[in-house]
């Protein structure tokens, strides 16, 4: 196993000193951060997968709930949890490094790290135990001018080995779910549009009000009385989502809750819907990546950097950067248009 270099043209078609790297071995991608950060990194992973020989193995060191999506969609061959205590030693100079991790890092030909490592301690410790080419990616994309999509910023390290993004998004569809998880995706008859709604996010500042979401759902139901509603929730919303369930029940809106499922299963269920509605959140990035027509609301965040770039995704930004500045009428209008484009008759 080794690394072989061949010169390649740059994106403008001019020969440069960039190199295309063929890795006859394994690649390790180290990615922490939240779900949205992880999904925004997957276009870079997909670019590696597409550019390198099919026998090249890609492993991800990250948070297990997130890495399971990459594995289920065929972007990663293996994954290892980043929440492993001895890994902390690699962030301290002169630390006694874990022998198992030293052997682990030594098994790769290329390592791309997105960990926050301002002093380079982690990189130094890894290079002491591995001969891999180590590339440092940005820990967090920036919002400075000119505004560049996060996925493109996160793929910048690949340019050093002559690999460039063809698109700023990735398509995710879990192909490798166990049969027991594939079954029972929905027990409702497909005679009406199915709408997925994720009304929360990891930050209260990014959350549209329950009442506003309820108004939109009521508006869709008025046009499509037999609408099927799937309400998803993450760990950040578990203590609050019951209140939204109560609002739906009081309004006589039937719904199916989706909680405590793996992200791969959640992606599969959301991807089978006809429309997705949500705030700026990791689940919204996951939904957009499944290809479902989606509406994602943005308040304080900069959508030119952070919004999903997937076709079929409508981004609605608050004019005053607060979620209260988004009008429910605008969300409803876009929702009905997307449903109409799905050729779903009014029921």
Choose between 17 and 83: higher pLDDT: 83
Pairing of the two strands 15-24 and 2-9: antiparallel
Show Cβ contacts of residue 193 under 8 Å, excluding neighbours closer than 6 positions: 220, 224, 227, 228, 274, 275, 339, 342, 344, 347
**pTM beyond cutoff 0.75:** yes
pLDDT (mean) for 255-272: 91
pLDDT (mean) for 323-338: 98
pLDDT digits (tens, 9 = 90+) for 67-86: 999 998 999 999 999 999 99
pLDDT (mean) for 261-267: 89
Beta-strand ranges (E) seen in 233-305 are 256-258, 275-279, 294-298
Choose between 212 and 189: higher pLDDT: 212
pLDDT digits (tens, 9 = 90+) for 220-245: 999 999 999 999 997 767 778 999 99
> Where exactly does CATH 3.40.50.2000 map onto the chain?
190-341
Element (H, E) at 3: strand 2-9
The full length of the chain comes to 347
User: Residue 175: pLDDT above 90?
Assistant: no
Pairing of the two strands 26-30 and 15-24: unpaired
Which pLDDT band, with edges at 50, 70 and 90, does 180 fall under? very low
pLDDT (mean) for 288-306: 97
pLDDT digits (tens, 9 = 90+) for 41-65: 999 999 999 999 989 999 999 999 9
Closest CA to 232 of 186, 270, 189: 270
Output the pLDDT for position 341. 81
Domain spanning 2-161 has what CATH number? 3.40.50
User: Residue 8: pLDDT above 80?
Assistant: no
Show Cβ contacts of residue 217 under 8 Å, excluding neighbours closer than 6 positions: 195, 197, 229, 248, 251, 253
pLDDT digits (tens, 9 = 90+) for 94-126: 899 999 999 999 999 999 999 999 999 999 999
Choosing among 3.40.50.2000, 3.40.50.1220, 3.40.50.2300, 3.40.50.12780, the CATH entry for 190-341 is: 3.40.50.2000
């Amino acid at each position: 196993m080794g690394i072989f270099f061949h010169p390649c043209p740059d994106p403008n078609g001019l020969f440069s000193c960039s190199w295309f790297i063929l890795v006859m071995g394994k690649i390790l991608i180290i990615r922490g951060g939240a779900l949205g950060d992880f999904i925004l990194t997957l276009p870079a992973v997909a670019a590696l997968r597409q550019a390198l020989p099919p026998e090249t193995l890609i492993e991800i060191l990250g948070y297990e709930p997130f890495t399971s999506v990459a594995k289920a969609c065929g972007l990663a061959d293996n994954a290892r949890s980043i929440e492993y205590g001895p890994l902390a030693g690699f962030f301290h100079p002169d630390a006694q490094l874990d022998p198992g991790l030293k052997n682990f890092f030594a098994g790769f030909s290329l390592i791309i790290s997105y960990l926050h490592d301002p002093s380079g301690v982690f990189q130094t410790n890894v290079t002491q135990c591995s001969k891999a080419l180590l590339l440092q990616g940005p820990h967090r994309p920036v919002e400075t001018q000119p505004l560049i999509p996060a996925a493109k910023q996160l793929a910048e390290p690949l340019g050093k080995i002559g690999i460039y993004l063809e698109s700023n998004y990735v398509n995710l569809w879990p192909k490798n779910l166990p049969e027991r998880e594939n079954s029972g995706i929905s027990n409702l008859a497909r005679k009406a549009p199915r709408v997925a709604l994720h009304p929360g996010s990891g930050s209260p500042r990014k959350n549209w009000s329950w009442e506003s979401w309820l108004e939109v759902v009521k508006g869709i139901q008025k046009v499509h009385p037999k609408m099927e509603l799937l309400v998803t929730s993450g760990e950040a919303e578990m203590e609050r989502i019951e209140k939204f369930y109560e609002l739906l029940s009081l309004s006589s809106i039937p719904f199916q809750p989706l909680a405590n499922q793996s992200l791969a299963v959640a992606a599969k269920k959301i991807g089978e819907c006809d429309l997705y509605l949500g705030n700026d959140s990791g689940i919204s990035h996951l939904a957009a990546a499944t290809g479902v027509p989606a509406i994602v609301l943005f308040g304080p965040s900069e959508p030119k950097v952070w919004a999903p770039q997937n076709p079929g995704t409508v981004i609605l930004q608050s004019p005053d950067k607060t979620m209260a500045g988004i009008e429910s009428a605008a969300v409803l209008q876009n929702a009905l248009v997307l449903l109409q484009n799905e050729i779903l008759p009014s029921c």
